[in-house]
């Protein structure tokens, strides 16, 4: 700190910085870490949404980026070096296992995406498509990139699908050319099922492996059905086996946050049985409902 005389300029670290300023500087900080590795990032959501898509600025509450899947392990290590810590892991953060969340004492939360829920194309191929049509932006003096405006609109739609929201207004105001571009983009990124979850056409995709997962996401359902949906949504048998194997595992991220410290082995075991009982109850309730329907 500077020892300042009255009326003399001073620079002070501040404990409470307005969210808009903190998030913008946080984005810049994450970008600088990525630049140090030569890692490609696409900044999404919040204040990075193009003004034509969201006239009323909404900075959001955390920084969201989609990273080149190839560099995520190196980026993870570098984030830890710079004081970020893991808040929730890819495995436990959501049914889509799409993002890992970090927290930093200065910058707040970061959602590091390896994919965006609803995009069915393999992660690396999807990233390359999004990267090819990127737009450059300057935030706090640091150069960064966002997906194209069309891809941003699709991300808003997919976000609405996941959060039970409605179609963004800009979707309805697309002209014929815009509608055709969006149709091509949705097909290219294989996002038809998730988009159908917002348009109400999900039943048209009943034979798709992601159908049940989106149905549960939009309409809710017992945990056991959600896990089954996650298992059958995997593109490979290996993926299905991996998800099936972790279904009975305790969400140690959540348990750590609940306890405020690393859980002890005995507490993890205890949580396992609590979850098992909860799963059995939900399964029994599901069976009872199905029997009752006959």
Partner 1 sequence: MNDVLRPHPLCGVFDDGDSLYVARLPDGPIIALDEVSALVWRAAGTGSRAEVIATVAEATAEKPDAIAQHIHAFLDDLINRGLLVAAPVPDDAP
Is 157 a binding residue for partner 1 by CB under 8 A? The answer is no
Alpha-carbon distance of 171 to 262, in angstroms, equals 45
Closer residue to partner 1 (CB): 14 or 291 = 14
Structure tokens at 126: 């999807």
Residue 33 binding partner 1, by CB under 8 A: yes
Name the strand (E) or helix (H) holding 153.
helix 149-162
| Number of residues in contact with partner 1 under rule CB under 8 A | 31
Using CB under 8 A as the binding rule, whether residue 28 contacts partner 1 is answered as yes
- DSSP lists the bridge partners of residue 139 as 142
Query: Residue 195: enclosing H or E segment and its boundaries?
Result: helix 192-199
Pick between residue 142 and residue 255 the one whose CB is nearest to partner 1: 142
Q: Considering the complex, state which of residue 143 and residue 269 has its C-beta at the smaller distance from partner 1.
A: 143
CA–CA distance, 227 with 247 (Å, rounded to integer): 7
What part of residues 37-96 is at the interface with partner 1 (CB under 8 A)?
Answer: 82-83
Task: State the nearest-atom distance from the C-beta of 20 to partner 1, in Å.
Answer: 8
Q: Which of 142, 167, 188, 255 binds partner 1 (CB under 8 A)?
A: 142
Tell me if 269 contacts partner 1 by CB under 8 A. Answer: no
DSSP, collapsed to helix, strand or coil, labels residue 77 as helix
**Token pair of 26 as six digits:** 């946080």
Output 7 or 73, the one with its CB closest to partner 1. 7
Nearest CB to partner 1, comparing residues 64 and 192: 64
Nearer to partner 1, 11 or 237 (CB): 11
Is residue 137 within the footprint of partner 1 (CB under 8 A)? Answer: no
Query: Quick one: DSSP state of residue 202?
Result: G
- For residue 10, report the phi and psi dihedrals to the nearest 5 degrees: -140, 155
Do the beta carbons of residue 231 and residue 248 sit within 8 Å? no
Tell me: does residue 250 bind partner 1 (CB under 8 A). no
- Relative to beta strand 63-67, strand 108-113 is parallel
Q: How many CA atoms lie within 13 A of 99 on its CB side?
A: 18
* CA atoms within 13 A of residue 220's CA, in its CB half-sphere: 2
> Judged by CB under 8 A, does residue 18 bind partner 1?
yes
Site residues (CB under 8 A) for partner 1, limited to 86-125: 106-107
Q: Which of 10, 136, 166, 236 binds partner 1 (CB under 8 A)?
A: 10
| Residue of 137, 164, 258 whose CA lies nearest to 218 | 164
Please say which residue, 43 or 162, places its beta carbon nearer to partner 1.
Answer: 43
In the complex, the residues that contact partner 1 under the rule CB under 8 A are 2, 4-5, 7-14, 17-18, 20-22, 24-25, 28-30, 32-33, 36, 82-83, 106-107, 140-142
């Amino acid at each position: 700190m500077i020892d300042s005389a009255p009326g003399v300029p001073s620079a002070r670290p501040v404990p409470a910085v307005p969210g808009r300023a903190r998030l913008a500087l946080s984005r810049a900080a994450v970008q600088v870490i990525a630049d140090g590795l030569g890692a490609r990032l696409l900044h999404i959501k919040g204040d990075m949404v193009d003004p034509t898509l969201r006239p009323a600025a909404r900075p959001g509450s955390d920084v969201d980026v989609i990273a080149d899947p190839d560099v995520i392990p190196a980026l993870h290590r570098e984030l830890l070096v710079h004081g970020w810590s893991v808040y929730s892991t890819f495995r436990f953060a959501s049914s889509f296992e799409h993002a890992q969340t970090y927290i930093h004492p200065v910058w707040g939360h970061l959602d590091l995406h390896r994919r965006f829920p609803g995009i069915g194309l393999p992660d690396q191929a999807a990233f390359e498509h999004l990267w090819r049509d990127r737009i450059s932006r300057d935030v706090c003096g640091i150069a960064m990139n966002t997906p194209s405006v069309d891809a941003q609109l699709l991300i808003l739609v997919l976000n609405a699908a996941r959060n039970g929201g409605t179609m963004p207004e800009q979707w309805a105001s697309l002209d014929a050319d815009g509608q055709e571009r969006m149709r091509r983009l949705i097909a290219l990124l294989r996002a038809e099922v998730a988009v159908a979850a917002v348009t109400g056409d999900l039943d048209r995709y009943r034979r798709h492996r992601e159908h049940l997962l989106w149905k549960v996401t939009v309409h809710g359902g017992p945990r056991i059905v959600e896990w089954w949906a996650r298992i059958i949504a995997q593109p490979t048998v290996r993926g299905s086996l991996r998800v099936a194997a972790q279904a009975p595992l305790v969400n140690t991220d959540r348990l750590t946050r609940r306890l405020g410290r690393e859980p002890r082995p005995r507490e993890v075991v205890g949580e396992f049985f609590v979850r098992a009982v909860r799963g059995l109850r939900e399964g029994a309730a599901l069976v009872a409902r199905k029997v009752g329907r006959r």
